[in-house]
Each structure stands twice: as C-alpha cells, then as structure tokens.
Structure 1
Amino acid sequence: MTLEVAREFSQRQTGLMGRESLEEDEGMLFQYPDLQSPDRGFWMYKTQLDLDIAYLDEQGKIASIRQMAPCETDSASSCPTYPAGAAFQSAVEMNLDFFSDQGIEVGDRLMIGTEHCPSP
C-alpha cells in the first residue's frame, strides 16, 4: 500500500478533493497531532471517488471503518459527514472496498513506515 501523507491542516482539509482516480493500492494517510473525538469525521465535499476510511487510534489500531460516497452538490453544507464513532489520531482513505478485499478489519493494526531509497 502506498500512502500520500497529509500532516498539515491545509493538506488534511484538501485531502483527495478533485482526484478522478486512485491506483488500487494507493490512498491518503491523515495524521493529527492530538487525539480526535469520536464525533469528528470526514466529509466528501468536492471528492469524486467512492472511498473507504479507516480511523486509527494512537497505536495504529483500526477503531472503525466507514464507506463514503462522493458528494455531488456544490454546497458544502449539503454534504454528509462520516464520524469516526471512536477516538482517533489518524485516518486512511482508500478506494471503496479496499479494506474488506484485503481482509483488513476493525481491531487490526496498520503499521505505517517509510521505504528508504538509496541516494543517486
């Protein structure tokens, strides 16, 4: 799995807006400096893709997985939100059904690492 990382507020706010496609094993990791409340969630304003989102606790354990549909309105306030339902510190968005297709479930732990490439 290859994840684009959104650490800064502006990166998290934009997320996958405007993307027309993702490769099968590509997604976005949203990282927060502090634990987020269970009622906080994501929305799909200006997002064109059907997505899965896994909300992760401080140890990378999946607290919940939600499926999110594109919001096809120009009014941000008309877009539904998808609250985590559990406290979370990061979230991973992937193509719809990615987690179930991979056998990834609530309670599983995602290990996030970096691949180091030798310098040219």
Structure 2
Amino acid sequence: MQLHLKCILITGLYAAGCHQPNNSNNTAGNSTSAPATETSNGTAFKQQGTLSFIAKSNADTLRKIDIQLAKTDQQRTDGLMYRKSMSDDQGMLFIFPDMEERAFWMKNTYISLDIIYIADNMEIVSIQKYATPLSEESLPSYKKAKYVLEVNGGFSDKYHISYGDKITYETLQP
C-alpha cells in the first residue's frame, strides 16, 4: 500500500509542476537519447535499448524486443500514457532504484498491456496480463520487483513468457 501512496504523491507533484530528477544510477548502462516527440498517437516510441526474454527451462531466447527506458520519477510517472498503439516488438522498461512491491494502473493508457514485474536478479516474479485500458484499478506485483516491463496485452501468452523466466537488456550507446 505504501507504493500506491508514493504513486499518488508522484502524480500530484507532476500535476503541480514540481519535478525533481531522480539521480539513481543504472548499473546496466546509461543512454542519452533525445526526448521523444509528440505524435497523433501520443508520445512516439524512442528506442533506447533491446531486451531478451530467456526461458527458465533451457535458457533459450524466447523473444527479443526494442525498449524505451523509464529511469526517472518523471519518466516512470508518464510511462505509456496517451499512446494509442505500440508494435509487438516494443516495450517500456521501468527501472527503480530499489526492490519493493510495486503496483501500476492504466489511467490515461489507451492500449491493453501485460505488466511484467522483475526482481533485481532479472527473474520474472509476476505478470498482470491484459490490463484494462484507462482503468484506475491497482495491479500489484505481489512480490518485490526492481524492474517493470510493459508490453502489449497478450504478449506473455503469445510468446510463452512466464514466472521464473529471466530477462537481459542492453542500452544503446549515445
């Protein structure tokens, strides 16, 4: 519940225009990409890295996608809000400075998403599938997570992504 209150506080600060950058470090690398531009479908996707899903059973690569990163409080607050579409080979990786139980919602998000919660050892700990667009229902991780990946609704079923699978990601160099 504490995370839910943090989300409300961050949203309130965003609405009030009180933005402070998050100075946390990303040990996987940093990207200095230009900001995405606004399009008729909301904010355009800006590739900042690639991510692979690794099967728990045999370490095979299940799927590889392009990712946009959300590393600051501002980026994590905005997420995929206002976007009208996203291709099946794209996703947004939210990077947090610590391991906590997380909860996301779909306010101002127009596309159905699978929300994948990932521990600091890069193992998938839970998945909220087919999140309802524009819903304010809290979608909890139920376990501690450092990373959260948003992909199109149905992605996990289509590519057989499940608990215990792992991810790896690389950021693009500037």
What band does the TM-score fall into relative to the shorter chain?
0.7 to 0.9
Q: Return 5+ residue gaps in structure 2 as ranges.
A: 1-64
Q: Return 5+ residue gaps in structure 1 as ranges.
A: 73-78
For residue 139 of structure 2, give the secondary structure of its aligned residue in structure 1.
Answer: strand
For residue 128 of structure 2, give the secondary structure of its aligned residue in structure 1.
Answer: strand
How many equivalent pairs are there? 109
Q: CA deviation at 1:104?
A: 1.1
Matches within 5 A, 1:6-17: 6-17=70-81
User: What is the root-mean-square deviation in Å for CA atoms of aligned residues?
Assistant: 1.4
Q: Looking at both structures, which has the greater relative contact order when contacts are Cα pairs under 8 Å and sequence separation is at least 6?
A: 1
Runs of 4 or more, structure 1, over 6 Å off, are none
Q: CA deviation at 1:102?
A: 0.9
Structure with higher Rg: it is 2
CA-to-partner distance for each residue in 1:32-63, whole Å, 9 max, x for gaps? Answer: 001112xx300011000100011000011000
Matches of 1:6 and 1:104, distance apart in 2: 22
Q: CA deviation at 1:94?
A: 0.2
Match of 1:21 in 2: 85
Q: CA deviation at 1:96?
A: 0.7
Matches of 1:8 and 1:14, distance apart in 2: 10
TM-score (norm 1): 0.86
The amino acid that maps onto 2:134 is C
The amino acid that maps onto 2:78 is T
1:94 aligns with 2:157: no
Matches of 1:61 and 1:3, distance apart in 2: 17
CA-to-partner distance for each residue in 1:58-114, whole Å, 9 max, x for gaps? Answer: 011000010211126xxxxxx111000110000100001111211111100011123
Matches within 5 A, 1:1-120: 1-37=65-101, 40-67=102-129, 68-71=131-134, 79-115=136-172
